[in-house]
Amino acid sequence: MQKSRFLPRGRKDRTMVLVDIRETKSVKAADIFLQVRPGKDFELLTILRAMIKDQPISDAEVAETGVSIEALQDLVARMKAAKFGAMFFGMGLSMTRGKHMNSAALLTLAAEMNAFTKFVAMPMRGHGNVTGADVIMRWQTGYPFGISFNRGYPRYNPGEFSTVDVLVRGDTDCVFVIGADPGATMPQPAIDHLARVPTIVLDPHVTHTSRLAKVHITTAPAGISAPGTAYRMDEIPLPLRPALKSSYPTDEEVTRRIKEAIQAKPDWMVEGPQRLETQV
Amino acid sequence: MLRITGGSVYDPANSINGEVRDLYIADGKFVDKESCDSGRVIDATGMIIFPGGVDVHTHVAGGSINFARAMTPEDHRRTQAFIRTKTRRSGLGGMAPTTFATGYLYAGMGYTTVNEAAVPVLSARHTHEELSDIPIVDKSSLVLMANNEIFLDLLEEGETERAKQVIAWYLWAAKAYGIKAVNPGGVAAWKYGDNASQLTEPVSGYKNVTPGNIVAQLAQIIDELGIPHPIHLHCNNLGAPGNVSTTLETMKHLEGRRAHFAHLQYHAYGGDDWGTMRSASVELAEYFNAHPNMTTDAGAVLFGDTVTITADGPWQHLLYKLTGRKWGNLDVENETGCGIVPYTYKPSNLVNAVQWATGLELLLLIDDPWRVFMSTDHPNGACFWRYPEILQLLMSADFRKECMACLPANIKNRITLPEIDREYTLYELATIISAGPARALGLKQKGNLGVGADADVVIYNRNVNIAEMFGHPRYVIKSGEIVIEEGDIRETPDGREYIIKPSFDPGTDDFLQPLFEDRYCMSFENYPVEMERIENPHLQDCKPQQ
Ligand SMILES: [Zn+2]
């Protein structure tokens, strides 16, 4: 692990605390493991928020979380004594009971810890270039995901316009999948819809989704035989340099050619210039 | 080819003050009459002609504004939506406009060049990707240097010659146009929850490095490398009551050297705390007027909603504590940082009212329009598309009086604005929004309607309503192409990106690589932005001083 002026011994100068509902493989890498009772993340985070500010908490509340008061007191002392604290969280927090409320509690805890020492929090992203998609959607549309363009401009409503919701409702008559395998992870009604409508998949491999798609275009794998940019979890862009050549086209090339073919067709949007209105 | 006839031309770069002149355009440049014998003619009789606007300090692309977009979906929903057509991409305006909309909105008010003022080298690739998605306008960017660990270490060891090579290397690695210094030493200290508030006190973790010598050394290096734009400086203690003493001291550290002071409004306060805060624009402007080595941009504030974004992480944490609103923080490894907090400036709030007055006072009390430029430090003081409101305030003392009636009664003795009668002329306005910032950036082909310059020009209908006149030009022409006509977006060409290549010792790579591998978490080869990543690059001269 990276050594630095302030942490000259690298990993030895760092303390890693793992919080999970069960002993995972990561436990071996951690200095401290806290086993929280399933569905009690929000409660645990709220108790920590109270403890850092020396607010009263009851034994019963602590007992409910499955973590002992001694362990929590030790954790709070370590957090306050740290020079720089970082909290990473993933879907185990954001997709279980409480969902976005859990994420909000964790982010608030990180913000509040800055009254004592430097603290940050960062979501752990999924595999592939999820962060890159999120970053680009934000600069082009203002929103990271869950965007509808059906009025000709970007609108955002997770839960309504997110891919899974659109598919489950059966709101699309065509699906274009790139760099993802929803057929492996989405709920059955969404998968049924993928199979029902023309689904087009761009992927270097055969996937669950490509098997139920009407069209599968094999593309060159990014980073192996296609160049590009991938955004790291902390939104730092890294160049992808292909080591091999591929006889398959890149995702970018296929998408561009499909776009050109669509552009050659009559447009469904009303044509004409747009006035620059007074901004509010 | 294009001819523009009969308009009153305001071209400060060529000392033309409202005279009726014809302009001739061919191949994107102004040419003489003989070289333009066909093509469209715009009859501009009775209209006003300015060179295209140049924004010397704005935040339109990169990790921080993109974080701000993510944090403010509630604002996107209430703002103007740009609807997709075959030639135009969709997008949203508002506090942190999307990239395509940014180009449409800037061009829509007659701006044709923008300078993105804060780019970490580590994420410069991202900034360039966003800049290439901003249509119409030409762009340049400044790279953040005053908190870079490798640079600060070299200063600590007194290795100034090596530091110069390293700065030049970083600048080229980022494919940037100049150097920005934000809260020198303070952002580095913020990694450990500290700040740097005294110019002569060592920065946390160092014995010899002080904010004062970071600033002086950077300015010296920039001059020696011959970088066209001087050090672009965000002083220590931004926003704090009484910070005028820090600002004046910083100016004294830079005596005899070129320097651009960013968003001066945020560095021009007297008083001891929030309760006694007052404008110190008079003493600051007095010193500034007497020292021709400096330029500045206003960083003016307008009342209303916005989102504040700055590399000044410790200040943003304070602002979060003051407001209790959303707070985003990004630490960019050992280079810099960034904080984001949505903010509402209210006329009833005494501090905000002082800030509003201070920005206008600086614009009015600094007597040389070639040295003070229009800016709101977008989106910090207000969004860039509100510039026309500020132009109206500058041109009309009566309008200022009207606005001052809404300020709290106890603001008397804290501001000077009521005593200032100055009203800007159109010639002075053309200087502060175009000719001046172009000259400060070292972009001779911009802010200039002379033969050989880029044909970026704005044509306004005369209108007693100044804000409306400047907010809705009749025509905007970029590189000889009509992009806005009667308020409609006609064309959306791609703009250029200005970059420079300062010369540096070819051994700098070998010097940096081991340091880099020790401190960074990406590989050395992946760090510099490749030239082919820049869309429409345009290399400007950078010649070292003898
Ligand atoms: Zn700024």
pLDDT tens, residue by residue, B283-296: 999 999 999 999 99
For residue A254 the two structure tokens come to: 């296929």
Is residue A48 located within the same domain as residue A138? no
Confidence of residue A3 (pLDDT cuts 50, 70, 90): confident
Q: Give the C-alpha separation, B122 to B137, whole Å.
A: 25
Enumerate the H helices of A197-246 as residue ranges: 208-212
What is the number of domains present in chain A?
A: 2
3-state class percentages of chain B: helix first, strand second, coil last, to nearest 5: 35, 25, 40
Interface-testing mutation among A1, A139, A236, with chain B (most B C-beta atoms within 10 A)? A139
Name the residue with tokens 């306050």.
Answer: A80
* Residue B525 burial class via C-beta count within 10 angstroms: exposed 0-12, middle 13-18, buried 19 and up: exposed
B79-83: average pLDDT: 89
- Whether residues A136 and A213 share a domain: the answer is yes
User: Is residue A142 domain-shared with residue A252, that is, in the same domain?
Assistant: yes
Q: What's the pLDDT score for residue A4?
A: 75
Nearest chain A residue (CA) to B107:
A276
Task: Look at residue A215 and tell me if it is in a domain.
Answer: yes
What integer pLDDT is reported at residue A274 of this predicted model?
63
> B317: helix, coil or strand?
helix
Residue B193 in this model has a pLDDT that exceeds 80: no
Among A152-156, B10-14, B188-192, B417-421, name the one with the lowest average pLDDT. B188-192
Q: Give distance in angstroms: CA of B27 to centre of ligand 1.
A: 34
A79/A160 same-domain check: no
Residue A143 domain-assigned? Answer: yes
pLDDT at residue A126, rounded to an integer: 75
Which range among A211-220, A258-267, B263-272 shows the weakest confidence by mean pLDDT? A258-267
A237 close to B (CB below 8 A): yes
CATH number of the domain residue A38 falls in:
3.40.228.10
Q: Which of A123, A145, A179 is the last residue of a domain?
A: A123
Please, are residues B23 and B3 in contact by the beta-carbon 8 Å criterion? yes
Residue A89 lies in a domain: yes
Residue that terminates a domain, selected from A80, A103, A123: A123
Looking at residue B166, its amino acid is: V
- Look at residue A24 and tell me if it is in a domain: yes
Cβ contacts of A268 within 8 Å, gap of 6 or more: none
Mean pLDDT of chain B: 94
pLDDT digits (tens, 9 = 90+) for B430-480: 999 999 999 999 999 999 999 999 999 999 999 999 999 999 999 999 999
Residue that terminates a domain, selected from A123, A155, A190: A123
Report the pLDDT value the prediction gives residue A269, as an integer from 0 to 100: 64
Tens-digit pLDDT profile for residues A222-272: 889 999 999 998 899 999 999 999 999 999 999 999 999 988 888 766 666
- State the residue range of the domain holding A52: 15-123
Task: For A132-164, write each residue's pLDDT tens digit.
Answer: 999 999 999 999 999 999 888 999 998 899 999
**What number is the average pLDDT over the span A120-131?**
86
Q: In this structure, are A189 and A147 located in the same domain?
A: yes
The pLDDT of residue A2: 73
Would you say how long chain A is, in residues?
280
The answer to whether residue A42 sits within a structural domain is yes
The verdict on a CB contact (< 8 Å) between B526 and A238 is: yes
pLDDT band, very low/low/confident/very high, at A169 (cuts 50, 70, 90): very high
pLDDT tens profile A53-96: 999 999 999 999 999 999 999 999 999 999 899 999 998 998 88
A10 located within any domain: no
Comparing A122-136, B27-41, B350-364, B424-438, which segment has the lowest mean pLDDT?
Answer: A122-136
Residue A202 shares a structural domain with residue A145: yes
CA distance A64 to chain B (A): 30
**CB atoms A274 and B519 under 8 Å:** no
The arithmetic mean of pLDDT across residues B187-211, rounded, is 84
Examine the predicted complex and report whether its ipTM is higher than 0.85. yes
CATH value at residue A258: 3.40.50.740
Is the pLDDT reported for residue A7 higher than 90?
A: no
> Do residue A259 and residue A143 come from a single domain?
yes
Regarding whether A36 and A105 lie in a shared domain, the answer is: yes
A277 in a domain, yes or no? Answer: no
What pLDDT, on the 0 to 100 scale, is given for residue B78?
87
Do A113 and A136 share a structural domain? no
- Within 8 A by CB and 6+ apart from A263, the residues are B86
Instruction: Give the CA dihedral B289, B291, B293, B297, nearest 10 degrees.
Output: -30
What is the 8-class DSSP label of residue B293?
T
Tell me, yes or no, whether A83 and A166 share the same domain: no
Geometric angle at alpha carbon B142, from B136 and B145, rounded to 5°: 165
Structure tokens at B220: 């010296």
Q: What average pLDDT does this structure show over B110-135?
A: 96
Give the per-residue pLDDT at B310: 83
Same domain, A163 and A101: no
Q: How open is the CA angle B374-B378-B381, to the nearest 5 degrees? A: 85
pTM of the model: 0.93
A83, A117, A156: residue with CB nearest B73: A156
Q: What average pLDDT score do residues B208-215 get? A: 93
Q: Identify the DSSP state of A219.
A: -
| pLDDT bucket at B190, cuts 50 / 70 / 90 | confident
Mean per-residue pLDDT over chain A, rounded: 92
Looking at the structure, tell me whether residues A116 and A228 fall in a common domain: no
Helix (H, G, I), strand (E, B) or coil at B295: strand
The predicted pLDDT at position A99 comes to 87
Q: In this complex, is the C-beta atom of B346 within 8 Å of any C-beta atom belonging to chain A?
A: no
Whether residues A140 and B83 touch (CB distance < 8 A) is answered with: no
| pLDDT at residue B150 tops 60 | yes
Is A255 part of any domain?
yes
